[in-house]
Amino acid sequence: MSKDQSQAKLTDSGITVKALYDASDLADWDAATQLGVPGGAPYTRGIYPTMYRGKLWTMRQYAGFGTAASTNERFKFLLNAGQTGLSCAFDLPTQMGYDSDHPRAEGEVGRVGVAIDSIADMRVLLGDLPLDQVSTSMTINSTAPILLLLYELVADEQGVPASAISGTIQNDLLKEYIARGTYIYPPKPSMRIITNVFEYCAKHIPKWNTISVSGYHIREAGSTAVQEIAFTIANGIAYVEAAIAAGMPVDSFAPRLSFFWNAHNNFFEEVAKFRAARRIWYRLMTERFGAQQEASKLLRFHAQTGGSTLTAQQPENNIVRVAVQTMAAVMGGTQSLHTNGFDEALSLPTERAARIALRTQQIVGYESGIVDTPDPLAGSYFVETLTDEVERLAWEYIRRIDEMGGAVEGIEAGFQQGEIEQAAYEYAKGIDDGDRVIVGLNRFANEGDTEPELQAADPQLEQGQRQSLAAFKADRDHALVAARLNDVADAARGTQNVLYPMKEALRANATLGEVSDALREVFGAYHPGR
C-alpha cells in the first residue's frame, strides 16, 4: 500500500476524515434544529429561500492598480465583460494614510492597488460609472471612512444621492492587528472610528455595508478553516459589543454587517465552513445580543478564492484551483464572489487572466447546474458531519477568546497570532515533507515551464501621481483646508462622530494623508509590543 493510501486523511483544519460515512453518523442528528430550510433559521442552508434560482451571486473582480484612470478603464472592461459589481484595491500608501508625495510612499505608489490622494483622484476613478446601479466593494481599513466619504462626495457631484449608492467597505481593523498589518491607530480609537461609520451610514448611506468582517486575510496568514471563522466571528462580536456600548441598538446597525471569507482547495471543508459560520452567527445574534429583526441574524458574506493557494510554478494550474474554490463558495451560499487571476502569484492580473477568472464564475453560474437548487449538498452524511465538527471546534475557540475578555484582549495577548503562526508552520512543513501535495510545486513539476505574459508596472507612474498631487495642493484655499483639518482634530479629542468634520475637510480639498495625520496627531500610531 502506498504512503498516500495508508496515511490518515485530514482536512486543512486537522479533522480526521473517515473512510466511509453512513446513516449512523447522523443517527442522533436533529435535522430540524441543525438544518432547517433555505431562508429559515438557523440558516445552515442559506439566507434566502431560493438562493441562486432567483438571482446569481454578485460577480466581482478585484481591480485597482496604478492610477485612477487605469483602474477606471479596468472597471469598464470588466463591466462590459459581464461583471455585476465593482471591487477596488488600493495601494499601500493609501491604505496606511500617506499621500503619494510622502517619503514613506516612495516605491509603493500604485504598486498593489490604485493610488487615491484626493477627491480629484476619486472623480477620475468613478468617472462615467453608473453609481446608482452598480455596487462597489472597497478593500480598505484604516482609511475606510475617508474613501467612503470621497465616494459619497463624488456620487453627489454626479447627481446620485447618498441614499442610492451601495457597496461595502472592509473597515475591519481587528484582523489587521491579527494578520495583515495595515493599521494606523491603536485599537481603541480604531474601534471608535468603526462605530462612527456604523452610525453615519445608518443615517446617510443606508444601502452601504459598513464593515466586512474579514476572515480572508486571517486565512492568507496561514490559519486553518476553523480558525478563520472562529477568529473572525470573535472580531464580529467585538464590533457588535462596541456599537452597543456606543449607544446603538443592535437592530439599528446589524443588518448592514457583512463578512468576507476565503475559499480554499479542500472542497468539502470549505462548504462546511460557510454553512457552520451562518449557524454560529445566527445563534450569537439571537441568544447573546437579542436581535429582533431577522435581517440582523443573517451572515451575509463575500468570498474570494485563495490567493495563497496560487503557485508561480505552472500558473495555468491555478485556473483549475480557482474553479474548485468557486464551486465551494457557490455551494456554500456566498452572496458575492471574486475569482483570482491565474497569474496573481507573479504579478497583478492581466486582462486575459481577469477575463478567464470572470468566465469561471459565469460557467459555474450558467452551465454547471449546481445553482438550480439551494444547498445541493444538504443531507450528505459527510457534509453534515463535517459542518457540525467545524462548528464545534469554532465554538471552542470563541469560548476561549470570551474567557480572555474578548477579541481585543486576545489580540493584545498574542493569542490569535500565535495560533495562526503554528498552523502556518504545520502547513508549510507538510509541503516541505511531501505529506501535502501541491501539484506543480512539490509533485508533478516540469522542467522548463514558461511564464505567462505579465502585467507591467509603469515606471513613470509615481512621478506623474506626485506631480498631479502637487498641482492639486497648489490650487486650493489653504486657510480653509487648515481650518477644516483643525475641526477633525478637535472632533477626535472630543466624543462627536468624526466623519462629519472629515467629510467637510475632504470637500474643502484636504488630502487623504492630511486627514489621516489630523487623526494620527490625536490618536497616535499603533506600534505592536510597545
Q: What is the pLDDT of residue 348?
A: 77
- Number of folded domains that form the chain: 2
Q: Of 383, 413, 433, which residue is a domain's last?
A: 433
Order across the sheet with 85-89: list the strands: 208-209, 167-169, 136-139, 85-89, 58-63, 336-338, 301-305, 257-263, 211-214
* Mean pLDDT across 469-497: 98
447, part of any domain: no
pLDDT > 90 fraction of the chain, expressed in percent and rounded: 87
Same domain, 405 and 500: no
Q: What is the pLDDT of residue 66?
A: 82
Contact yes or no for 481/506 (Cβ under 8 A): no
Q: What is the pLDDT of residues 95-118, one digit of tens each?
A: 999 999 999 999 999 988 999 999
454, part of any domain: no
Q: What is the pLDDT of residue 273?
A: 98
Same domain, 184 and 50: yes
Same domain, 367 and 467: no
Domain that holds residue 475: 461-523
Same domain, 233 and 365: yes
Domain of residue 410, CATH code: 3.20.20.240
Distances 139 to 93, 168, 205, 400, 486 between C-alpha atoms, Å: 14, 8, 18, 29, 28
Same domain, 235 and 111: yes
Is the pLDDT at 2 greater than 50? The verdict is no
How does the average pLDDT of the chain come out, rounded?
Answer: 94
Same domain, 142 and 70: yes
Range from 228-237, 275-284, 451-460, 483-492 carrying the lowest mean pLDDT: 451-460
* Cα–Cα dist 272/255, whole Å: 24
Query: 287: pLDDT confidence band, cut at 50, 70 and 90?
Result: very high
Q: What is the pLDDT of residue 7?
A: 72
501, part of any domain: yes
Q: What is the pLDDT of residues 420-436, one digit of tens each?
A: 999 999 999 999 999 99
pTM for this one? 0.92
Q: What is the pLDDT of residue 3?
A: 46
Is the pLDDT at 480 greater than 90? The verdict is yes
Same domain, 344 and 266: yes
Q: What is the pLDDT of residues 320-355, one digit of tens each?
A: 999 999 999 999 999 999 999 999 998 778 889 989
12, part of any domain: no
Contact yes or no for 271/379 (Cβ under 8 A): no
Provide CB contacts within 8 A for 276, sequence distance 6+.
44, 229, 387, 388, 390, 391, 394
Is the pLDDT at 163 greater than 90? The verdict is yes
Q: What is the pLDDT of residues 361-388, one digit of tens each?
A: 999 999 999 999 999 999 999 999 999 9
Contact yes or no for 331/373 (Cβ under 8 A): no
Is the pLDDT at 491 greater than 80? The verdict is yes
Q: What is the pLDDT of residue 31?
A: 84
Q: What is the pLDDT of residues 249-260, one digit of tens each?
A: 999 999 999 999
CB atoms within 10 A of CB 494: 9
Same domain, 408 and 485: no
Q: What is the pLDDT of residues 3-59, one digit of tens each?
A: 445 578 999 999 999 999 999 999 888 887 889 999 999 999 999 999 999 899 999
pLDDT > 70 fraction of the chain, expressed in percent and rounded: 96
Q: What is the pLDDT of residue 310?
A: 97
Could you tell me which of 57, 44, 63 has the C-alpha nearest to residue 337? 57
Is the pLDDT at 65 greater than 80? The verdict is no
Same domain, 492 and 362: no
* Cα–Cα dist 333/271, whole Å: 8
450, part of any domain: no
Query: 399: pLDDT confidence band, cut at 50, 70 and 90?
Result: very high
Contact yes or no for 211/171 (Cβ under 8 A): yes
Same domain, 192 and 272: yes
304, part of any domain: yes
444, part of any domain: no
* Cα–Cα dist 455/342, whole Å: 12
Same domain, 241 and 303: yes
Q: What is the pLDDT of residues 112-127, one digit of tens each?
A: 899 999 999 999 999 9
* Mean pLDDT across 88-101: 96
Between residues 34 and 471, the one the model is more confident about: 471
* Mean pLDDT across 267-276: 98
Please report which helix (H) or strand (E) contains residue 283, including its range.
helix 267-283
Q: What is the pLDDT of residue 23?
A: 94
* Mean pLDDT across 73-78: 91
22, part of any domain: no
- Beta-bridge partner residues of 87: 62, 137
Same domain, 408 and 475: no
* Mean pLDDT across 203-216: 96
